[in-house]
């Protein structure tokens, strides 16, 4: 039987719930959602603690070779003003992050091959030499040797969201990609010893609760260390401009269920949630999230990295953002983490290679 109460009871007991159970939780009524959020919050506290980890995100290029239907950075969007930061500008932004007390920087861009493997490796090595920072990369799909070079240069983590585990939906919204290749890249990253992050969008046109359940199951099978759950937000310069945005309630339920299925993972309170609701950050932190990713992209180009419109973080200056985050954490009685925030399976200072998910994850999308 797959009703809400029995599904939640199994999840609370630490059982590996199946897709039907996940669907039952995602279909929670408003009253049931309160129970779900409470269970997710309890799981978060038990497995990753009360501390909230900050990651400074630096969006260094908005050029992209891909043509995803939902993304404002898509190749065919001629209305966007493109930019690329120089290596020096990137390193200056990283220096600012270090001076502000961050322990992790996230280097993110569109899929921009202007920055070749050697350039990215050189940046990683410079950051590691100058700062005591964990380095996360979010540069899209590259070949295995490039991922290997960056890992050997010192990169700790890699974010590559699957967006959806439905093969047909994936090929529709990402017409020049395939779910098979996406999963292959994620498997390479796991095999190379990266702390690996994936994630999905909630509310994509054509998505169902069964699709969302498959998303969560894929991330569980890949045993990801991070999972970014955010709503779909239509961009006016994309083919999906007239589609309805994702719902706040379903996004929060997806986040909560992901916490129950991936109890030790780091789950961010995403910027897209803050765009959907002014108190989105707080709501997410109450139903399983334990990470916040303030934007430290230089102010002169920050408003040009618009995957979706009305990004909530483009007007925040770093100091002001940190003050508001600290005030929020004080209100929630959640301490600010002081360590690098490595996944629990990686003790501080002990990042090792060979962290492999099961081979069945390679076939999961089929």
| Domains, the chain, ordered by start | 49-243+295-341 (3.20.20.70)
For residues 39 and 288, the answer to whether their CB atoms sit within 8 Å is: no
Say yes or no to pLDDT of 143 above 60.
yes
Query: How high is the pLDDT of residue 24?
Result: 98
For residues 150 and 117, the answer to whether their CB atoms sit within 8 Å is: yes
Say yes or no to pLDDT of 348 above 60.
no
Query: How high is the pLDDT of residue 55?
Result: 97
Residue the block writes with tokens 């993304």: 71
Say yes or no to pLDDT of 264 above 60.
yes
In the sheet with 104-109, reading across from the earlier edge strand, the strands are 56-61, 104-109, 134-138, 157-159, 195-202, 226-231
- How much is the average pLDDT of 18-40? 98
Instruction: Provide the 10 A C-beta neighbour count for residue 125.
Output: 16
pTM score of the predicted model: 0.94
Lowest mean pLDDT among 107-116, 135-144, 179-188, 342-351: 342-351
Query: How high is the pLDDT of residue 127?
Result: 98
In the structure, what pLDDT confidence band is assigned to residue 354 with cuts at 50, 70 and 90? very low
Q: Name the region of 219 (left: φ>0; alpha: ψ -120 to 50; beta: rest).
A: alpha
Say yes or no to pLDDT of 358 above 90.
no
Query: How high is the pLDDT of residue 167?
Result: 97
Query: How high is the pLDDT of residue 346?
Result: 63
List, in order, residues 6 or more apart from 350 with CB less than 8 Å away: none
- How much is the average pLDDT of 123-151? 98
Query: How high is the pLDDT of residue 3?
Result: 94
Say yes or no to pLDDT of 365 above 70.
no
Query: How high is the pLDDT of residue 312?
Result: 64
Average pLDDT, the chain: 92
In the structure, what pLDDT confidence band is assigned to residue 36 with cuts at 50, 70 and 90? very high
């Amino acid at each position: 039987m797959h009703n809400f109460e029995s599904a939640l009871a199994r999840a609370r007991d630490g059982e590996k719930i199946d897709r039907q159970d996940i669907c039952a939780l995602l279909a929670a009524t408003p009253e049931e959602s309160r129970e779900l959020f409470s269970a997710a919050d309890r799981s978060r506290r038990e497995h990753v603690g009360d501390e909230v980890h900050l990651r400074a995100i630096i969006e260094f290029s908005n050029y992209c070779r891909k043509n995803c239907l939902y993304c404002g950075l898509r190749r065919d969007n001629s209305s966007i003003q493109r930019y690329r930061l120089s290596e020096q500008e990137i390193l200056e932004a990283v220096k600012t992050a270090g001076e502000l007390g961050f322990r992790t920087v996230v280097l993110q861009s569109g899929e921009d091959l202007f920055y070749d493997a050697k350039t990215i490796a050189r940046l990683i090595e410079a950051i590691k030499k100058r700062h005591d920072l964990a380095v996360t990369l979010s540069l899209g799909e590259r070949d295995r040797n490039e991922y290997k070079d960056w890992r050997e240069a010192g990169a700790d983590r890699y974010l590559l969201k699957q967006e959806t585990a439905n093969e047909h939906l994936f090929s529709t919204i990402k017409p020049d990609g395939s779910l098979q290749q996406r999963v292959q890249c994620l498997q390479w990253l796991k095999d190379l010893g990266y702390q690996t992050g994936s994630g999905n969008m909630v509310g994509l046109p054509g998505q169902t609760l069964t699709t969302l359940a498959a998303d969560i199951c894929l991330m569980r099978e890949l045993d990801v260390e991070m999972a970014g759950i955010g709503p779909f937000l239509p961009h006016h310069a994309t083919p999906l401009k007239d589609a309805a945005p994702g719902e706040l309630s379903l996004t929060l339920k997806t986040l909560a269920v992901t916490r129950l299925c991936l109890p030790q993972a780091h789950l961010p309170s995403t910027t897209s949630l803050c765009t959907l609701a002014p108190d989105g950050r707080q709501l997410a932190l109450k139903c399983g999230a334990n990470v916040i990713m303030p934007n430290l992209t230089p102010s002169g180009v920050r408003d040009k990295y618009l995957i979706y419109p009305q990004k909530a973080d483009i007007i925040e200056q770093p100091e002001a953002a940190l003050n508001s985050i600290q005030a929020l954490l004080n209100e929630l009685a959640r301490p600010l983490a002081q360590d690098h925030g490595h996944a629990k399976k990686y003790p501080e200072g002990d990042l090792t290679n060979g962290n492999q998910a099961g081979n069945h994850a390679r076939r999961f999308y089929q």
